[in-house]
A and B are shown apart, each in its own frame.
Chain A
Amino acid sequence: MNTRRWMSIAVCLGILLLSGRVFGETIYVHSRIAPLMAGPDLASGKLGELELGSKLEADRLQNGWYHVVSDGKSGWVNRLMVKKYPPVKEKGDQLMGRQHLARRARIRPSSLASTAAARGLRAERNRYNMRLKADYKALEKMESFRVTPQDARCFVMKGSQNVSGQ
């Protein structure tokens, strides 16, 4: 009897300790929208939508879906759309960060040589640079076609938006 009791205790302890990877994990939504589903698949009914940065408590992982609780509502969210750390807050124009990065990078300029060498970025040949000139005018034109997340959301949800207008 004692042996059985010890074995039961050991198995229970093992399960508890090993399952610590999932139980009680805090996860964050990293996509702009993450559907909260009634079950761990896309055929289940959609209970709602979670927004970017939503903090969730996951109690289990099944077939690539986390079972989570959000605002008292429980459901399943796709593992693809969440990570275990909060997303970065956007700072408007993402390119504004370049000067900041430049300052940070210049703290250790001597690291460039080793970085570039380690990454295999030495000047071995130059055929793409010779062949391809940058066309920023065309790029700006392409950027003018960007749509807002709100427009994109309407387009997905309605599925019948007039697409011919610009």
Chain B
Amino acid sequence: MCQGNKPVSALVVMVMVIGLAARADCGRQRINVIAKEQEAPADWQTEAWFGRKLAARILGSIPLCDCPAANRYLNLVGSGLALYAPAPGAVFTFGILDSEKVNAYATPGGYIFVTKGAILRMRNEAELAAVLGHEIAHVSCHHMVKSLGLNRHQDSAVGGMAVLVGGTTGSFRQAISQGLEKGLEILFDTGYSRKQELEADRIGMQLAVTAGYRKDGLVNFLKRIHGFEASAAEDDRSHPTWKVRLQQLEASMDGLHQDPGPGQTREERFNEAFAQLFDSDIGDEHNRSSR
């Protein structure tokens, strides 16, 4: 028994060690969970405070579209998707920017913008939902905060962003100002990391599909604006290459089992809600060329 079972005993010990290590890892994860639980309330509140300041600066640069019905509809579509987003502390607010460029932006806490130029190139609500889902995912995953490096917590309960929010001195204000500047730089120039963009694509698609939309909304929209590459290239800096993005999206689509059904593009109410935009001069021009 002793001689013959040495390898077996060794195997048993090895398996036990691996198992216990896995258990220990679970224990560490639980500790992290407790830490996150304690910090979570401050995260959403401070993100919203910071995100509101960023949103006001975006609107200082690009005006809000003067189209109440369209803005209201945008909020219904976006808030419908946000019901399924893992962002319990976010209050989502959506707005159409009066710009011919094709883009969308999200700031921490839930302020989301879509340009009129982007909407004019969409064909139905499923495509709009896909774009909004992508931006909601940026908010839900705290991509801005992570990109700014403000999600890391110090040895106290006060997180990096909370420190920025809490100050009143000139140094504090300067730090906030610099944080906002970095945030705007991410939104308008450098963009999120490729990994974050692809994650937002994947989660956004899941949100849209869960809300009942066709899963190919984002792929169809991207393919269409890719056709306008000459004009869209300048707005493309914040995203991975088209090819990579489309490949990843199509791979994600394959993994999403969805029964095709009627009404999943919801084209009729999309056209009705945005009639004012489509009837404008710019709209006619884009309708002729892209719709």
Which B-chain residue is minimally distant from A127 (CB atoms)? Answer: B181
* A72 sits at the interface (CB 8 A): no
Given pairs A17-B19, A115-B160, 8 additional interface contacts (CB within 8 A): A3-B5, A10-B11, A32-B83, A35-B210, A87-B88, A128-B180, A129-B177, A152-B76
User: Inside 8 A of A115's CB, which chain B residues have their CB?
Assistant: 154, 160, 163-164, 175
Contact yes or no, B180 A3, CB < 8 A = no
Scan A7-20; emit 1 where CB is below 8 A from any B CB, else 0: 10111011011101
Number of interface residues of B (CB under 8 A): 111
Query: Interface on chain B toward A: helix, strand, loop, or mixed SS?
Result: helix
Q: Is the CB of B59 within 8 A of A105?
A: no
B154 and A111 within 8 A (CB): yes
- Interchain CB contact under 8 A, A145 and B94: yes
Is B77 a contact of A155 with CB atoms below 8 Å? yes
CB-contact partner of A13 in B5, B15, B91, under 8 A? B15
Closest partner residue, chain A, to B215 (CB atom): A42
Given that A14-B18, A86-B37 are known contacts, is A119 also in contact with B9, CB under 8 Å in the complex? no
Contact of A111 among B69, B94, B163 (CB under 8 A): B163
**CB-based contact B212/A166 at 8 Å:** no
Question: What are 21 sample pairs from A and B whose C-beta atoms fall under 8 A apart?
Answer: A2-B4, A20-B23, A30-B88, A31-B85, A41-B258, A52-B88, A84-B33, A94-B89, A95-B52, A98-B49, A101-B42, A101-B162, A119-B179, A121-B178, A133-B57, A135-B56, A139-B55, A142-B71, A146-B91, A152-B83, A163-B73
Asked if A166 and B157 make an inter-chain contact with CB atoms under 8 angstroms apart, the answer reads no
A104 in contact with B157 (CB, 8 Å): yes
Q: Select one of A128, A143, A165 contacting B93, CB under 8 A.
A: A143
CB <8 Å contact, B88 and A101: no
Interface status of B28 (Cβ within 8 A of chain A): no
**Which chain B residue lies CB-closest to A148?**
B79
Distance in Å: Cβ of B91 to nearest Cβ of chain A: 6
Asked if B82 lies at the interface with its beta carbon under 8 angstroms from chain A, I say: yes
**Does B222 have its Cβ within 8 Å of any Cβ on chain A?**
no
Most chain B Cβ neighbours within 10 Å, of A107, A119, A153: A119
**Interface bits B151-168 vs A (CB < 8 Å: 1, else 0):** 000101110101111111
Residue B257 is within 8 A (CB to CB) of chain A in the complex: yes
| Pairs A-B, 8 closest by C-beta atoms | A105-B166, A17-B19, A97-B45, A152-B79, A41-B257, A134-B56, A87-B88, A121-B178
**Bound complex: CA of A38 vs CA of B18, how far in Å?**
34
Evaluate contact between A43 and B73: CB separation under 8 angstroms: no
B222 to chain A, nearest CB (A): 21
- Distance (whole angstroms) from the CB of A94 to the closest CB of chain B: 5
- Given A97-B41, A119-B148, A151-B79, answer yes or no on A107-B91 (Cβ-Cβ < 8 Å): no
